[in-house]
Amino acid sequence: MMYDCIIIGAGPAGLMAGCTLENTNTIILEGTQKAAQKLLLSGAGQCNFTHDGQIRTFFSRFGDKEKFVRKALSGYTNKDVQDFFKTQGIENFVREDGKVFPKSLDAWDVFRGLRDQVNRNGIKIQTDVKVLEISQDQDIFKLMTSKGQYLSKTIVFATGGASYPMTGSDGSGHTLAKSLGHKVIPAKPALTPVYIQDFKLVDLAGISFKNGQLSHYRDQKKMGTYIGDILITHTGLSGPGILDNSRYMTSGDELRLKILNEDCTKEELEKDLLSGNKKQIKTVLAEYMTRRTAEKLAEISGVDKDKICAELNKKDRKRLLANAEAYSMTIKQLGNMKSAMVTAGGVSTKDVVGSSMASKKVEGVFFAGEVLDVDGDSGGFNIQWAFSSGKLAGESVRKYLSASKQ
């Protein structure tokens, strides 16, 4: 059978493209046995599917791809996505941190809304069909799959990246796109925790620094300063302040964490330590951080927490203050693809038209979602990108098909 469009991948990008391609002869091919597996796992199964706020605030959440994502996000906004699910009978709510969830807190409802619209459009989702090779004969694409050959006038790559490979996001889309002449930026984990070499804060696992400040260095050169919630784990650091900026980090980099509470300064702490006299050091420190953190800070600084301030010599005080303001740690490694939420890298955006998601290399080929070298912050921004780019890709396919008939 000849199809108008074959969408490769039944994740949020591919499904949204399918929701847009009514009145076309379209099929969605999914390489795994179940559609939208990664979507169903998102947000611990609760599916934080977008973020609240003005859509213009989303652009900077995608790093240096800010300009590329602008058209798709502006054309199909976070409000549009929420309205779409409401028309499917799926209510949603905004959490105080701006994350948007289905009211049921069940990712299955998000998938159901997409699947039902795809079904109403008469589009079949064919699972367990792995695309192995793509070739082109004049204007027709031939897809060799694990279940035989498929023919199509157009293709939408919505294969995902290379993180959580057990869900089908295994990087195979990058290989297929490369075979058609597209440049592929090597994939690396993004939105991942970092593991710290000789980690000394393990006793603080579970403690979070609200709006924590982290300075990032590589070979003594400052790479950036990041602000965001930072969570201490048993092996290193996580939380939005780490996840959102892990795309810029690599093994061997130095991170300097401000242990002092958000609005506290080293100068204020030094003044209180100097005037503390008979107060215990741990008591003064606990006014600037949690008691557990205060005791650990004293320990890693080689200071007896039970001493009184009057007994604190200048050398120990300076070391204590230095660690409080910028405690230095070395990255052992980033989380791997199995733990990364998204992929950095993918099909180069230089090979894709941002206003249509169309390939610059091969006419009739379109891209959507994480298969592209686009990765955003945590908090629903990446799923919104999948929806927005999937919508734009679907609309562009319709225009392409319409123009080819004339």
- Pick from 15, 1, 16: which is nearest to 392 by CA? 16
Q: CATH top-level class for 2-189+340-405? A: alpha beta
Alpha-carbon separation of residue 11 from 38, 226, 369 (angstroms): 7, 31, 9
Where the chain has pLDDT below 50, the residues are: none
Query: What residues form DSSP beta bridges with 156?
Result: 7, 366
Contact 30/405 with Cβ under 8 angstroms? Answer: no
pLDDT of amino acid 167:
76
- Pick from 31, 70, 32: which is nearest to 388 by CA? 70
Query: Which tokens go with 86?
Result: 């409401």
Q: Which long-range contacts (CB under 8 A, 24 or more apart) does 119-122 make?
A: 120/22, 121/18, 121/19, 121/21, 121/22, 121/23, 121/26, 122/22
pLDDT of amino acid 46:
95
255: region left, alpha or beta (phi > 0 left; psi from -120 to 50 alpha): beta
Element of type H or E holding 218: strand 208-218
Q: Which long-range contacts (CB under 8 A, 24 or more apart) does 173-178 make?
A: 173/8, 173/9, 173/347, 173/371, 174/346, 174/347, 174/371, 176/8, 176/131, 176/133, 176/134, 177/347, 177/367, 177/371
pLDDT of amino acid 240:
93
pLDDT of amino acid 169:
78
pLDDT tens-digit readout, 158-203: 999 887 777 777 899 999 999 999 999 999 888 999 999 999 999 9
Query: Distance between alpha carbon 274 and the CA centroid of its chain, in Å?
Result: 45
Residues whose CB falls within 8 Å of the CB of residue 178, separated by 6 or more in sequence, listed in order: 184
pLDDT of amino acid 138:
87
| CA–CA dist 125, 37 (Å, integer) | 14
pLDDT of amino acid 322:
97
Alpha-carbon separation of residue 206 from 78, 121, 203, 236, 239 (angstroms): 32, 47, 9, 11, 10
Contact 155/5 with Cβ under 8 angstroms? Answer: yes
Query: What residues form DSSP beta bridges with 14?
Result: none
H helix intervals, 141-288: 172-179, 240-243, 266-275, 281-285
What are the extents of the domains in the chain?
2-189+340-405, 199-334
**pTM of the entire structure?**
0.88
pLDDT of amino acid 190:
87
